Amino acid sequence: MKLAYWMYAGPAHIGTLRIASSFKNVHAIMHAPLGDDYFNVMRSMLSRERDFTPVTASVVDRNVLARGSQEKVVENITRKDAEEHPDLIILTPTCTSSILQEDLQNFVERAQLEAKSDVLLADVNHYRVNELQAGDRTLHQIVQFYIEKARKKGELPTSKTAKPSVNIIGISTLGFHNNHDCTELKRLMTDLGIEVNAVIPEGASVHDLKRLPQAWFNLVPYRELGVMTAKYLEQEFAMPYVDITPMGVVETARCIRAIQTILTKNGTEVDYEKYINEQTLHVSQAAWFSRSIDCQNLTGKKAVVYGDCTHAAAITKILAREMGIHVVWAGTFCKYDADWFKAQVSEYCDQVIISEDHGAVGDAIAKAEPAAIFGTQMERHVGKRLDIPCGVISAPIHIQNFPIGYKPFLGYEGTNQIVDLIYNSFTLGMEDHLLEIFGGHDTKEVITKTISADSDMTWSKDGLAELNKIPGFVRGKVKRNTEKFARDRNIEVITAEVLYAAKEAVGA
Amino acid sequence: MTLADAQPQSISFECETGNYHTFCPISCVAWLYQKIEDSFFLVIGTKTCGYFLQNAMGVMIFAEPRYAMAELEEGDISAQLNDYEELKRLCIQIKRDRNPSVIVWIGTCTTEIIKMDLEGLAPKLEAEIGIPIVVARANGLDYAFTQGEDTVLAAMAQRCPDKAPEGEKEERNAIAKLLNFGRKQEEVRAEESEYIEHPPLVLFGSLPDPVVTQLTLELKKQGIKVSGWLPSKRYTELPVIEEGYYVAGVNPFLSRTATTFMRRRKCKLIGAPFPIGPDGTRAWIEKICSVFGIEPKGLADREAQVWENLEDYVQLIRGKSVFFMGDNLLEISLARFLIRCGMTCQEIGIPYMDKRYQAAELALLEKTCEEMGVPTPKIVEKPDNYNQIQRIKEMKPDLVITGMAHANPLEARGINTKWSVEFTFAQIHGFANARDILELVTRPLRRNNSLKNLGWDKLVKEEVEIGNGGQ
């Protein structure tokens, strides 16, 4: 058992449902107790869906516990088949069905006899994988199913498209800025003269899946979703794939060069260098920003980064490599993919943190005292408590992270958005600090905003008064250093004198 | 078609498949941990439960709530780990970090399926760590949404002391203390005489403190003294319950708590409509008065005055129709109030219908329909959301009260919706809060008045007409 207040990645079935409801005309049926269909609320609210979320539950109640699901699951599948005529129904196990150990595969086979739609059992285990891993698996499972089905029927197209073409794999519902990223990627492909053969799973029909092998290559923009599918397609059809996330100026160029290599290998000589140059200098403002005085002022400022693998790694590289910001630590909650993350960011930050514990992450932020945080909604709230600005760069996210305006993180427009996000976070902090220096709006008497346990040191009135004169953004550090100084010398009450003595001694 | 056609006077009941959307009952920790200030709620379940709570509670999650998940891992499921030792470790940690007066264990679907004996483990652990442990099985296998509170309160009803320790008697009554705050002892005594002699009355149901005060004062006007309230602000202030006390519920979803009071604590239950809407509040007070043989004073005027103040809102909904999809058990009372406001109601969906506990409320609904000259609604227990949506498409009601899963899709199809969960978190009880109910109900209609003539009320492409379940 684990005491937990907050989790970064959801349970496995959420991943499966995200894939299922990204496709067009695919219906998911959860084998779950009443109330577990919370996914529908999230999808309807967060992404403001106009359509009913194609997810229903085959409710597990007392009767099911006593006698097993018997006909219930089969009936629910065939009923949904008749009502909605989906192309595919995915039976989705949950934590409850994981322990009931009913033979869901058997239900699927029986339902398949009657149902006109295809029926699949999502191959995910609640206790082994999380939302992200389950999503990756389910996408792979569906693609494999339809490729094999087409192959059996002899309907699998074997020829490549005439012009260079790509499948974009991994755009999904409830993904962080996914729909904007998708638009940006399509635009980028058009610029490069590459046709988009298919985008999966978002908005795709399962009938399109057999056409996947016609593309020249696959592009997997996110580390968390699509790699399994891309590897499968590589193995089956020798399709190359690019898994460099085009986030940030340098990575976008790297991604485009990888595409160039693939196309050239396939006999289409392309040279994207001019394009990269033009975009970098004139379309994206990020390169210019890194030379501007604004960015110069950020040099050496401390930041911490935390999120999923894709976003945390990319943002870390942007901060360190493209803006000269000092990344004290970079972290991810994708424990299962820790090695990849470490390899990506190690040279760009002092320390790598792999943890799913929001408390530990919060403490690491408090200890580092960065000038800005880039993290999830949880880190944003830690920032609020510590008075440190935070830019949200990764799920878990709230409704405000599903903006209506065009805000991609990928491609050249993405680099512009990221510059704004980063610069605005830092200037907010600077503004605050200037206000403090010039006797701004700080009327707080005592400092209570630390996330780590409160200290046991006593401060005299004049000591506190002096402490409060110190600008807010360094006050925490001064307080801690002074307390350490006092503790080392067995000083019981910290007066103004002690504060200044400490300052001289340790340069607090 | 239904019984209603043949006998228009009586309410018809139906039961569908139970394929509907509602919150998991563990959501009750969200409001109960705030209500019971010295409690700590430990939900013993999986990531699924945690994910639900984290998302359903929104920003509350960042405020260091006094609740946590005891997240079960594979070793717990296969009994490689010892339940007792695991729970002990976590509870000691909670005691150290938060020092609560009570730890409430919320059993979930998983603890049911693996048959973790929480009721057996609790007393042992309680003795060992010295903190009361209350067990409530608020799981999605058995209950819906607000019924979670019912399971917690039923468990707490067993913990209410049966005799106040001498000398503490005056102190224990937290509500009286609240109302008498800052006043001299003599004044308080003088006030005691304002109450009419009647057997002790304890109310049950978790309400925000301002509403507790309002309802208590409302009864005080009739000379009725509220001896205690379950739950109180603190676990250490649970009301004294002796055999023969009278109890009354303030919410329609508290059947188990009511049963516990009657069977286990030998209390007498006052079966009344619930104090939701001015009509409900009046009927609630009248029923309590009648049980104690008190002639209620000034209630008719009070109700009339409230209605007068509501007129601007009532005008907006008079003659309009409302459809309850059903997810929180407040539906009967709300429908009864809205029919009194002049609305018609075709269907009341409800997760679970306790015809005995809600008898007086059902009778009032029937009477209200008769008096307003509208057909009685069909009550659909364990509704089927898919079928309901087909019926909504057919009936085209002016307002659908529904969960968040259906609200946006219905709005996109030009159907007004009100999110049902707001009714459980808003203050809706008593005379003073009737306006809040209508504030919620009329909001979509008022919004539409501002937007009308813009011509974009249907925002989805024409859907293929789906036949009656046929191919």
* CA A83 distance to own-chain centroid: 35
CB contact under 8 A, B24 and A35: yes
Q: Which residue has the higher pLDDT, A167 or A67?
A: A167
User: What are the backbone angles phi and psi of residue A137, rounded to the nearest 5°?
Assistant: -65, -45
- Taking CA–CA distances from A7, the nearest residue in chain B reads B51
Q: Tokens 């959501």 appear where? A: B27
Q: Is residue A50 less than 8 Å (CB to CB) from chain B?
A: yes
Asked whether residue A497 carries a pLDDT value surpassing 90, the answer given is no
Mean pLDDT of the region A463-470:
82
d(CA A382, CA A116): 51
Closest partner residue to A42 among B21, B55, B68, by Cβ? B55
Tell me the residues of chain B between 80 and 109 that have a Cβ less than 8 Å away from chain A. 81, 86-87, 89-90, 93-94, 109
pLDDT at position A446: 42
User: What are the backbone angles phi and psi of residue B305, rounded to the nearest 5°?
Assistant: -65, -40
Closest partner residue to A33 among B19, B140, B407, by Cβ? B140
Closest partner residue to A50 among B18, B110, B409, by Cβ? B409
- Taking CA–CA distances from A2, the nearest residue in chain B reads B71
Token couple for B7: 């006998």
CA of B329 to nearest chain A CA: how many angstroms apart?
15
d(CA A90, CA A119): 6
What sign results for the dihedral spanned by CA atoms B401, B403, B404, B407?
negative
CB contact under 8 A, B408 and A41: no
User: What are the backbone angles phi and psi of residue B40, rounded to the nearest 5°?
Assistant: -140, 125
d(CA B336, CA B279): 9
Among B88, B141, B419, most A C-beta atoms within 10 A, so best to mutate, is B141
pLDDT in tens, A299-315: 889 999 999 999 999 99
SS3 A168: strand
Say if residues B70 and B87 touch (Cβ distance below 8 Å). Answer: yes
Q: Is residue B65 less than 8 Å (CB to CB) from chain A?
A: yes
Comparing CA positions, the residue from B175, B167, B211 lying closest to residue B195 is: B175
Q: Is A271 a catalytic residue?
A: no
Among B52, B390, B456, B459, most A C-beta atoms within 10 A, so best to mutate, is B52
d(CA B215, CA B224): 11
d(CA B65, CA B45): 17
Comparing CA positions, the residue from A91, A260, A52, A25 lying closest to residue A166 is: A260
Comparing CA positions, the residue from A54, A83, A312 lying closest to residue A173 is: A54
Q: Which residue has the higher pLDDT, A29 or B468?
A: A29
- Name every residue whose Cβ is closer than 8 Å to that of residue A415 and which is 6 or more positions away in sequence: A247, A248, A249, A252, A284, A285, A286
Say if residues B101 and B132 touch (Cβ distance below 8 Å). Answer: yes
CB contact under 8 A, B90 and A53: no
DSSP class of residue B247?
E
d(CA A163, CA B316): 61
CB contact under 8 A, A381 and B62: yes
- Name every residue whose Cβ is closer than 8 Å to that of residue B441 and which is 6 or more positions away in sequence: B313, B317, B322, B338, B399, B401, B418
- Taking CA–CA distances from B110, the nearest residue in chain A reads A96
d(CA A173, CA A175): 5
d(CA A118, CA A111): 9
From chain A, pick out residues whose CB is under 8 angstroms from the CB of B460.
50-51
CB contact under 8 A, A126 and B65: no
CA of A288 to nearest chain B CA: how many angstroms apart?
38
pLDDT at position B61: 67
One-letter amino acid at B75 equals G
Token couple for A239: 């399709």
d(CA B208, CA B210): 6
Token couple for B455: 């011509």
CA of B20 to nearest chain A CA: how many angstroms apart?
8
Q: Is residue B54 less than 8 Å (CB to CB) from chain A?
A: yes
Comparing CA positions, the residue from A248, A330, A246 lying closest to residue A290 is: A248
Q: Is residue B141 less than 8 Å (CB to CB) from chain A?
A: yes
Say if residues A135 and A92 touch (Cβ distance below 8 Å). Answer: no
Say if residues B136 and B104 touch (Cβ distance below 8 Å). Answer: yes
Closest partner residue to B460 among A6, A50, A56, by Cβ? A50
pLDDT in tens, B83-130: 999 999 999 999 999 999 999 999 999 999 999 999 999 999 999 999
Closest partner residue to A96 among B58, B109, B469, by Cβ? B109
d(CA A481, CA A484): 5
Report the predicted TM-score, pTM, of the whole model to 2 decimal places.
Answer: 0.88
Buried b (16+ CB within 10 A) or exposed e, A59-68: bbbeebbeee
pLDDT at position B191: 63
Closest partner residue to A6 among B48, B54, B470, by Cβ? B54
Q: Which of A123, A294, A357, A363 does the annotation list as catalytic?
A: A294
SS3 A351: strand
pLDDT at position B179: 58
Comparing CA positions, the residue from B443, B379, B444 lying closest to residue B410 is: B444
Closest partner residue to A56 among B19, B47, B70, by Cβ? B19
CA angle, residues A400, A406, A411, in degrees to nearest 5: 115
pLDDT in tens, A344-381: 999 999 999 999 999 899 999 999 999 999 999 999 99
Strands (E), A280-424: 302-307, 326-332, 351-354, 372-375, 390-392
Tell me the residues of chain A between 129 and 188 that have a Cβ less than 8 Å away from chain B. 130
pLDDT at position B190: 59
pLDDT at position B7: 43
CB contact under 8 A, A51 and B409: yes
Residues in chain B: 471
Q: Is residue B68 less than 8 Å (CB to CB) from chain A?
A: yes
Token couple for A307: 């999120």
Comparing CA positions, the residue from A481, A473, A487, A477 lying closest to residue A505 is: A481
- Taking CA–CA distances from B64, the nearest residue in chain A reads A5
pLDDT at position A193: 96
Size of interface A-B (CB pairs under 8 A): 166
pLDDT in tens, A53-93: 999 999 999 888 888 887 899 999 999 999 999 999 999 99
DSSP string, B385-443: HHHHHHHHHHH--SEEEE-HHHHHHHHHTT--EEETHHHHHS--BSSTTHHHHHHHHHH
CB contact under 8 A, A7 and B18: no
- Name every residue whose Cβ is closer than 8 Å to that of residue A311 and which is 6 or more positions away in sequence: A176, A247, A393, A394, A409
Q: Is residue A94 less than 8 Å (CB to CB) from chain B?
A: yes
What is the CB-side half-sphere exposure of residue B433 using CA atoms within 13 A? 23
CA of A395 to nearest chain B CA: how many angstroms apart?
13
Closest partner residue to A34 among B50, B76, B140, by Cβ? B140
From chain A, pick out residues whose CB is under 8 angstroms from the CB of B21.
37, 40-41
Tell me the residues of chain A between 481 and 500 that have a Cβ less than 8 Å away from chain B. none
One digit per residue, the tens of pLDDT, for chain B of length 471 reads 444 444 445 889 999 999 999 999 999 999 999 999 999 999 999 999 999 988 887 766 666 788 999 999 889 988 888 999 999 999 999 999 999 999 999 999 999 999 999 999 999 999 999 999 999 999 999 999 999 999 999 999 999 998 876 655 454 555 555 555 555 566 656 566 788 999 999 999 999 998 999 999 999 999 999 999 999 999 999 999 999 999 999 999 999 999 999 999 999 999 999 999 999 999 999 999 999 999 999 999 999 999 999 999 999 999 999 999 999 999 999 999 999 999 999 999 999 999 999 999 999 999 999 999 999 999 999 999 999 999 999 999 999 999 889 999 999 999 999 999 999 989 999 998 999 999 999 999 888 888 877 777 777 775 544 444 333
pLDDT in tens, A316-353: 999 999 999 999 999 999 999 999 999 999 999 999 99
CA of A338 to nearest chain B CA: how many angstroms apart?
21
CA angle, residues B21, B23, B27, in degrees to nearest 5: 175
CB contact under 8 A, B87 and A94: no
A336 torsion bin: left (phi>0), alpha (psi -120 to 50), beta (else): alpha
Closest partner residue to B408 among A2, A44, A126, by Cβ? A44
Say if residues B45 and B110 touch (Cβ distance below 8 Å). Answer: yes
From chain B, pick out residues whose CB is under 8 angstroms from the CB of A50.
408-409, 412, 459-460
CB contact under 8 A, B55 and A38: yes
CB contact under 8 A, A34 and B144: yes
Q: Is residue B317 less than 8 Å (CB to CB) from chain A?
A: no
Say if residues B120 and B224 touch (Cβ distance below 8 Å). Answer: no
From chain A, pick out residues whose CB is under 8 angstroms from the CB of B470.
82
d(CA B45, CA B26): 10
Q: Is residue A454 less than 8 Å (CB to CB) from chain B?
A: no
pLDDT at position B208: 92
Q: How many Cβ atoms are within 10 Å of A363's Cβ, its own excluded?
A: 16
Token couple for B9: 């006077």
From chain B, pick out residues whose CB is under 8 angstroms from the CB of A53.
405, 409
* CA B107 distance to own-chain centroid: 19
- Taking CA–CA distances from B70, the nearest residue in chain A reads A3
Residues in chain A: 508
Comparing CA positions, the residue from A296, A364, A289 lying closest to residue A329 is: A364
CB contact under 8 A, B74 and A127: yes
DSSP class of residue B200?
-
Say if residues A181 and A221 touch (Cβ distance below 8 Å). Answer: yes
